[in-house]
C-alpha cells in the first residue's frame, strides 16, 4: 500500500515496539496517532513524529470506542490499526493469582478485541484497512512461567485468524507479527531480568518488518511472520 498520507493508530505507542512502529510509519509519510494510558510518553512520542495522541486504556470499552472515533473525526478515515498494547507476566502457575490473570487478559486479549472491533467497523464502511496485531513467539510454543502471557498471545493469534477470514471480503488485510526477544523494558516489568545485548532485537527491527509487510501491493499480503535475532548468543 501507499503509506504516504495513510491514517494510522498505534496502541501502546508511547514506548518500545509501539513507538518504533509509530516513528517508522511517520517516516513513510503516514499520519500517526499513538494511544496509551500514560500521557507524558504519548505526548513525547507524538511530538517526535509530528502526530497526535489519545490517552486511554484499550481494555476499557469506552476508551477503545473514543480512540477510533477520535482519529476518524480528525482525519476522515482510518487506514491502519497496530494492535500493540500489552504487557507480560512471567510467574509459575501455582503463584499466579486469578486477579493477575484477568488483568493481563483485559489488556492483551479483550483490549485487542475491542480495538479491532472498532477499527473493523470503519474498515468495512470504507472498504479497506490494515489490521496488524503484535503477538509473540510465545504464541507458538508454550513454556514454563508463561501461563498468563503465552496463552494471551495464543488467543490473539486465534482471534487474528478469525478476523482474517471474516474481513478479507471487505479488502481488509489482517496480519500477525511474532517478535522474539526484543531489548525493551518489557521483560523487567514482567518480572524477568534479561541481560542487555547488542546482538538481540531492537524495536526498530520489528517496525521495519511491519513497514515491509504494509508495502506489499494490496492484492496480496503476508498474513503472519516471526522476527528472530540472527545470532543472539
**Active site (catalytic) residues:** 149
Per the structure block, which three cell numbers stand in for 26?
A: 511517520
CA angle 109, 161, 208 (to 5 degrees): 80
Which letter does DSSP use for residue 143 in this model? -
Q: How far apart are CA 223 and CA 162, in angstroms?
A: 12
Q: How far apart are CA 115 and CA 65, in angstroms?
A: 8
User: Which of 131, 130, 129, 149 is closest to 139 using CA atoms?
Assistant: 149
Q: Give the pairing type, strands 129-134 and 31-36.
A: unpaired
Q: How far apart are CA 46 and CA 14, in angstroms?
A: 8
Helix (H, G, I), strand (E, B) or coil at 121: helix
Beta strands in 45-182 (DSSP E): 52-55, 80-83, 129-134, 172-179
Q: Are 168 and 124 in contact (CB under 8 A)?
A: no
Q: How far apart are CA 107 and CA 228, in angstroms?
A: 25
Which residues 6+ apart lie within 8 Å of 129 measured at CB?
Answer: 78, 79, 80, 81, 119, 120, 122, 123, 167, 170, 171, 172, 173
Amino acid at each position: 500500500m501507499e503509506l504516504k498520507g495513510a491514517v494510522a493508530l498505534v496502541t501502546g505507542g508511547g514506548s518500545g515496539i509501539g513507538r518504533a512502529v509509530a516513528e517508522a510509519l511517520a517516516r513513510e509519510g503516514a499520519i500517526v496517532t499513538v494511544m496509551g494510558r500514560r500521557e507524558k510518553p504519548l505526548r513525547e512520542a507524538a511530538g517526535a513524529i509530528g502526530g497526535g495522541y489519545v490517552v486511554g486504556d484499550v481494555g476499557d470499552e469506552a476508551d477503545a470506542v473514543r480512540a477510533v472515533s477520535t482519529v476518524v473525526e480528525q482525519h476522515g478515515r482510518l487506514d491502519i490499526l497496530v494492535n500493540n498494547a500489552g504487557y507480560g507476566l512471567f510467574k509459575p502457575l501455582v503463584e499466579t493469582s486469578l486477579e493477575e490473570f484477568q488483568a493481563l487478559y483485559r489488556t492483551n486479549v479483550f483490549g485487542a478485541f475491542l480495538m479491532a472491533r472498532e477499527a473493523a467497523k470503519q474498515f468495512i464502511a470504507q472498504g479497506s484497512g490494515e489490521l496488524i496485531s503484535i503477538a509473540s513467539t510465545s504464541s507458538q510454543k508454550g513454556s514454563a512461567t508463561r501461563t498468563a502471557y503465552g496463552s494471551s498471545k495464543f488467543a490473539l493469534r486465534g482471534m487474528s485468524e478469525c478476523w482474517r477470514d471474516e474481513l478479507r471480503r471487505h479488502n481488509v488485510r489482517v496480519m500477525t507479527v511474532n517478535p522474539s526477544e526484543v531489548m525493551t523494558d518489557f521483560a523487567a516489568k514482567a518480572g524477568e531480568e534479561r541481560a542487555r545485548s547488542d546482538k538481540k532485537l531492537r524495536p526498530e527491527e520489528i517496525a521495519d518488518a511491519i513497514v515491509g509487510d504494509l508495502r506489499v501491493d494490496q492484492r496480496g499480503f503476508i498474513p503472519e511472520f516471526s522476527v528472530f535475532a540472527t545470532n543472539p548468543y
